[in-house]
Structure 1
Amino acid sequence: MDDRQSIDLAAMLCSRLCHDMLSPVGALSNGLELLAMETDPEMRANVVELLEQSATISTNKLKFFRLAFGAAGGFGERVEVAEPKALIEALVSDKPKVTINWALADATLAKPAVKVLLNFAQIAIDALVRGGSLDIGAERRDGACEIVVRAAGPKIAFDEMIGHALDGSLARAELTSRTAAAHMIHLLASENGGGLQYHRTAETLVLGAVLPEGEGLIG
């Protein structure tokens, strides 16, 4: 990837982060304004509760983006699976119609695998517009980490441009804030000698990855 493409990808990822953070941060700002004007104790208590919810959502999203998009310098080459598991569970905490089933065979995952797992989960959660189930699995086999995320529900919403970004067929002009994360993990998988794939039906979306493990991985 040349410098221009690197700059474009970074810009699109920043746009995605800003878009996702705008709502909870805006709610914090609005809540503080209401708190400054409100004098009724009961109403103030309600506003404080909303502020706490918005602060929690903002914190969870920042933690997610740090590990899913960023260098995540606070972690080593391998990350305990409890970290991505907690982040994904936080993403669906306000989605009562989405249930998660876990099948994580190992206690730790390489950082590139964690990035792929988190971004797969985000794509799958976004696809479950009417709720459903999310099956998330990962295991190390024959020197590689295999990851599968399956979303199943009454309606699957999936932008085919995201699919093109995952399989590497996305045209440069089609890189947007919506496709940037998928394009990023495609590049990450390719640079580590692996690959991504997906399959979609009316009621299911299956995302898969195989990532070789060993020294010299790019995370």
Structure 2
Amino acid sequence: MTNSDAIDLATMLCSRLCHDMLSPVGALSNGLELLAEEKDPEMRQRCFELLEQSARISADKLKFFRLAYGAAGGFGDEVDVAEARSVVDALVGDAKRIQVNWALSETRLPKPVVKVLLNFAHMGIDALVRGGTLDIGAEIRDGASEIVVRSAGTKVAFDESIGAALEGNLPREELSSRTAAAHMLYLLADHARGGLQYKLTGEALVLGAVLPNG
């Protein structure tokens, strides 16, 4: 990757982060404006509840992005899976109508693996526009980390350009803030000499990864 490509990717990831944060932060701003004008005690209490909800969602998203995109998780090469699980559980709780099932055989996973797992989970949550089930599994076998995330529901929505970016098949000129995270995962997998894949049907989205360790 050239310096220009790296800058473009960083710019698109920042755009994606700002897009996802705009709604809860905007709700905070609107709630404060309403609170300043509202005199009725019951309505003021309602404003406080909305502010609390928006603040929690904002904090949950920031914790997720810090671990999924940034250098969070300490200075070591591995991350405690409990940390990854907590940020995904928070996003699922904020999304509502989604049941998450975990199958993690390890207590710690390499940082690149955690980034893939978190981003897969985020894609899986986004795919369940009407709710459903999110199954997340990861294990280390034969010197490689294997990850599977499955979203199943009455309606599963997934932009296949994201899938193309995951597999390294999306032309560079078509990359955008929407596909930047998937492209980042492709680069992580390619650097590790691993691979990513996806399968989409009318009722389920399956995301898979195999990343050699070391």
TM-score range, shorter chain: over 0.9
Does 2:111 align with 1:111? yes
Alignment partner, residue 94 of structure 2: 94
Q: How far apart are residue 94 of structure 1 and its match?
A: 3.0
- Residue in 1 aligned with 2:146? 146
Q: How far has the Cα of 1:74 moved from its partner?
A: 3.5
Aligned-residue identity in percent: 70
Q: Which residue of structure 2 lines up, in the alignment, with residue 18 of structure 1?
A: 18
Residues of 2 paired with 1:172 and 1:10: CA distance? 14
- The structural deviation recorded for 1:73 is 6.1
For 2:65 and 2:27, the matched residues in 1 are separated by 19
- Structure 1 residue 133 corresponds to structure 2 residue 129: no
Equivalent-residue separation in structure 2 for 1:66 and 1:75 (angstroms): 14
Q: TM-score, normalised by structure 1?
A: 0.95
The answer to whether the Cα contact below 8 Å between 2:153 and 2:204 also exists between their aligned partners in 1 is yes
Provide the C-alpha distance between the structure 2 equivalents of 1:76 and 1:61, rounded to a whole number of angstroms.
Answer: 23
In structure 2, C-alpha distance between the alignment counterparts of 1:185 and 1:4, rounded to whole Å:
18
Aligned-residue Cα RMSD (Å) equals 1.1
Long gaps (5+) in structure 1:
215-219
Q: Does 1:185 align with 2:180?
A: no
CA offsets per residue over residues 41-97 of structure 1, 9 Å max, x none? 221111111111110000000000001111226453211111111111111113332
TM-score by structure 2 length? Answer: 0.97
1:105: how far off?
A: 0.4
5+ residue gaps, structure 2, are: none
Deviations 1:136-183 (A, max 9, x none): 000000111100001111111111100110000010111001000000
SS in 2 for 1:197: strand
Letter in 2 for 1:129: V
**Which residue in 1 is equivalent to 2:160?**
160
Contact 2:73–2:79 at 8 Å: present in 1 too? no
Runs of 4+ displaced beyond 4 Å: none
Per the TM alignment, residue 192 of structure 1 is displaced from its structure 2 partner at its CA by 1.3
Contact 2:9 2:180 in 1 (8 A): yes
Distance, in Å, in 2 between the alignment partners of 1:180 and 1:193 is 20
Deviation of the 1:200 alpha carbon: 0.9
How many residues matched? Answer: 214
Corresponding residue SS for 1:94: helix
Please say if residues 57 and 94 of structure 2, whose CA atoms lie closer than 8 Å, have aligned partners that are also in contact.
no
The 1:100–1:75 alpha-carbon spacing in structure 2 relative to 1, beyond 3 Å, is farther
Name the SS of the counterpart of 2:208 in structure 1: strand
Query: Aligned residue for 2:63?
Result: 63
